[in-house]
Structure 1
């Protein structure tokens, strides 16, 4: 089989599994930027049978052009088998999909994160959860209509700092769009043609101390920069991006690490203090923004542990989130909906495990450039 035929067959397989998993050819298990006629053909045909898709994945796996593509076919095969009724233990299903072994994160990691929050937050009274919520409230943007202009300024700064690591094309446009009726807080979307949008949920109070953190994660050097640079360099290799896959472990790890990569130390807080906070009437309070963000990254491990509990049908999932993720009732309710077992459940492991891998590996500009321009797997960033 030629590489061209293999890639077409893989794209059709991914489109079919996406439709079966989400009920829509444009569902959320896949980012597809290949020929429109392939997507239209899948939309017009009867829904596929999961078992047949698993067999097709097996066939493609035998002649995959690269280890990278083979890892992604294994992920599609695992989901097809899951949709066909196979129920592997969550860690085993996650390993097949993500290319790494999801593991239970020891609570000592979260205890250390709580201690770090205790040291980073202002004030001395109250629980870490109470003090975190008070800090968030003190930095809340009250006029959400000002947010697009603030995001524009943050995009300019994060893009300039990313360009010092890897050349970026001129003429790029990144817009901010306020949205509602969505489950996410923020999402970066590369639309092609050097155009991108950062979508922000206007219904969730926006913490201005997180401005650069969110924009770096969703934009530069995070999701938008990675999508744009790889599409420019790799062309049709980026037509199909199956989201429950090894590459998204690294994408989400990069997103969580993004602010630290371009604003080392306290540089993000210094920039916000000089360029944003005074005009909003937010005064310094002695908090350490970078330390808060690192602690919250560590607390992504709570989600993976909670996913294990949910998969076992354990009743204490909500209490676990409240104890270790420091969630209030509203946050807990939203999290429980996302933790309901589904074919996409292993995706939640990608955040903590991706961040843990990359914070050890992405130690200099050359490795960050590789993350942004090469097709890497978790196994490629372990040494």
Structure 2
């Protein structure tokens, strides 16, 4: 009988963002290979506070469940005494759930306190626990206000701690060493994958403004939040726009706390006709936008892996990126991409102008071709899945 690999995430599977895509892709890949030669079957557990009772569905052949779990203070002796009987019952139901589905691995993607109860139950049942970090989840561990109290116990219950790139795993190792050096020995790296056939999903019927088609289009994708560095990109593009008239910047992302501030920044710099901010754009339409673009730019301050940069490479786009963990691992400067320092507005604008001015398409085209070859050769969800299975 196949054992169940339980992918756990606090994020909606419909969310526009990298973690949801990672969980969906790994589960779908495991489902495909489990039909033939793998001793595991996938299941997805979404930590959803609104789902007091389990809500089940099938997505791409994979069983998915949304359910509330007891918060950490209910397990560790919190103050809400009136609710403890309810959470005690949920705790027992979690045990029954893991046993009934023959769960052999609990694999948390995007680590938060919400998954504490589930991994505590898993450890009591002797189930292996793998915690996969993807970005902002590490920031909470690095916070001095939470690390000394909660995280040592959480991390101690995990068998393996995964960073989604080699560089990011090293950062994870350093951060955890400051809590407990022995726990840092659990850290390893598993690079995310990419669907090499993703461009077939592009929305071929997408309708765009005429200037998107007629001008050189610079595209960036990322949630409208501080860490994505959209403000730096907009300031850099102000210089680009003053030098190159037939250019337009499109920033696509999930709605976030910086959206209104970025709108005001665009207005204040006189870029209202030169910059477009698109919220919550469907994934097939984002892929279609890549097909129109001349250049992809990532100005992120933090990027553990850089899935969208890899996808841009898959779409044969040259990439300019800031030197984040993910970008420096994915891109070799002037070979498969162009790297600049984080928050360096001047260097970013110069790199964009340089590549857009490459009218003969020589250097720009070579960068794009080299990145596409690198991405298709080194990244796939099957490789990522095999790396995870090796940890079981």
**Superposition TM-score, scaled by structure 2 size:** 0.28
**Superposition TM-score, scaled by structure 1 size:** 0.28
- Considering fraction of residues, name the structure with more helix: 1
- Report the structure number with the largest CA radius of gyration: 2
- Considering fraction of residues, name the structure with more strand: 2
